[in-house]
Amino acid sequence: MSKVQEKWVCTECGNTQSQWSGNCSACKTWNTVEKFLEAKLPKGTMLQGAGVQKPIPITQVEIGAEERFSCGFPEVDKVFGGGIVKGSLTLVGGEPGIGKSTLMIQIAKKIADSGRKVMYVTGEESLSQAALRAKRVEAEHDNVLLYQETGFSRILQQIEKIQPDFMILDSIQICHKEELSAAPGSVSQVKEIAIALMKVAKELAVTTLCIGHVTKGGDVAGPKVLEHIVDTVLEFEGDRDLEIRMLRSKKNRFGKSDEMAIFSMQEKGLKEEENPSMIFLAKRLAPQTGSVIGTILEGSRPIFIDIEALVAPSAYPTPTRKASGFDPTRLAILLAVLEKKVGMHFAAYDVFLSIAGGVKVKDPAVDLALTLSIASSFTNKPIGADLVAIGEVGLGGEVRSVHKMQNRLKEVAALGFKRVLVPKGSLKETEKYPIEVIEVSTVDEAIQKILV
Ligand code: TYD
Ligand code: MG
């Protein structure tokens, strides 16, 4: 019998420490340190099994062909890097109510359609709730076996008995290993279950998707180590009140990690959107102050998004700065650039920024569009909906070039925009496009050309 050792782990960064503290000793986040029990192996255990494997030259390793299969959604297959790898373990994270279970049951049905056996373990909902959803999205299939269970050993028994090709676990936080005293969803449970699932996936070739809840910050709840254990981490996100949903890969051992699939949530479940650019812009009617169109790259594909800013006199001595879908620190930097390089003063103004459609933007190519939207709201001058702004903004107010400009410009022309603002030096690539290309080298110059 192995001894158990008490440890404390930070759910944000995964750092372990021997004592509790109010904030994590590594990442300094508050209230994230949780107790977990780690099995302390008896002396000598580490050496068991030694000698079975020995180090061999890398050139002599036999590389087996990676077996992949389609999940039935072409865009999701792309996110996986060209289909799901057989025997892989994927974690799908997302906020409650975003549509994780809906996506999973639809994937289950499509996989069953391809002649595979699917086991859907529903720990969070009753059988009838899960079946009702399946009926609603027309995902009923005889080869999708619903199983309501939260005990891991019983789930394992059924896996061995049924031998499904594919398993969905909804969710990892509700599942528990009976032999651990910790509560379901705790760090030790989640971690142990992930390790066990990995073994099942690899040894029994059961390709597994497991749902994970997310914390306020948007990370999958449980220790960061959870993300290290699994092969692939997907994030399902979007604005719950809007119909757009995005599935993107955050980590992928078997492919690129920046691909994204876009869905819309409809009456009968999720539908893949092949032309996502337009859905993010659909609501745009006439020129509006504080609203500018920018591009982000998702994988190799440019997507157009509407960036909205509102600059309004503040009623308080400390004005508010709020950004949804965008890093607040980056917003503060861009405001400082506008203050210093353009002479717009925001000390008495609240600034709100929102990216339409609930997209979370990381691509620096939106900097210029963002800066212009703030300037437009500040000066009360509209910018036409026929214009797209592309460019990164540096601390000195300079507009910097962005990667994949060619791709972005091709799409700008294809979608019928009339004008595009680009960093100086981009023109040689763009000569052949039938749009007005306006080159700028600083934010100030961009404002002079567009807003005045
Ligand atoms: P669900 O898959 O239960 O979310 P999660 O598992 O991430 O918590 O879906 C939740 C929402 O999706 C629910 O509020 C209603 C909506 N929905 C639709 O709009 N259409 C549908 O066909 C289904 C099944 C759900
Ligand atoms: Mg659910």
**Ligand 1 atom closest to Cα of residue 100:** 7
Query: For 314-358, how does the pLDDT look when each residue is reduced to its tens digit (9 = 90+)?
Result: 999 999 999 988 999 999 999 999 999 999 999 999 999 998 777
Which two tokens mark 108? 């289950």
Closest ligand, as measured to the CA of 173: 2
What confidence score (pLDDT) does residue 410 get?
Answer: 83
**Confidence band (pLDDT; 50, 70, 90) for 140?**
very high
What is the 121 CA–ligand 2 centroid distance (Å)? 11
**Confidence band (pLDDT; 50, 70, 90) for 154?**
very high
Strands 244-252 and 260-266, by their bridges, are antiparallel
Is the model's pLDDT at 47 over the cut of 80?
A: no
Phi, psi for 128 (deg, rounded to 5): -70, -35
What is the 123 CA–ligand 2 centroid distance (Å)? 9
Number of Cβ atoms within 10 Å of the Cβ of 158: 16
When pLDDT is averaged across residues 255-277 and rounded to a whole number, the result is 84
**Confidence band (pLDDT; 50, 70, 90) for 166?**
very high
What confidence score (pLDDT) does residue 112 get?
Answer: 95
CA distance 181 to 201: 25
When pLDDT is averaged across residues 206-218 and rounded to a whole number, the result is 81
Burial string for 30-45 (b: 16+ CB within 10 Å, else e) reads eebbbebbbeeeeeee
447 lines ligand 1 (CB under 6 A): no
What confidence score (pLDDT) does residue 434 get?
Answer: 81
269 lines ligand 1 (CB under 6 A): yes
Closest ligand, as measured to the CA of 135: 1
CA distance 12 to 20: 15
**Among 121-125, 150-154, 415-419, which is the least confidently predicted range?**
415-419
What is the 11 CA–ligand 2 centroid distance (Å)? 22
DSSP state of 398: B
**Ligand 1 atom closest to Cα of residue 125:** 3
The residue with tokens 């961009």 is: 446
Is the model's pLDDT at 188 over the cut of 90?
A: no
Percent of the chain with pLDDT over 90: 48
213 lines ligand 1 (CB under 6 A): no
Say which amino acid occupies 60: Q
**Ligand 1 atom closest to Cα of residue 269:** 22
Q: List CB-based neighbours of ion ligand 2 within 5 Å.
A: 101
Query: What's the predicted TM-score (pTM) here?
Result: 0.76
CA distance 180 to 354: 44
What confidence score (pLDDT) does residue 224 get?
Answer: 67
What confidence score (pLDDT) does residue 210 get?
Answer: 92
Question: Which of the two residues, 418 and 224, has the higher pLDDT score?
Answer: 418
What is the 103 CA–ligand 2 centroid distance (Å)? 9
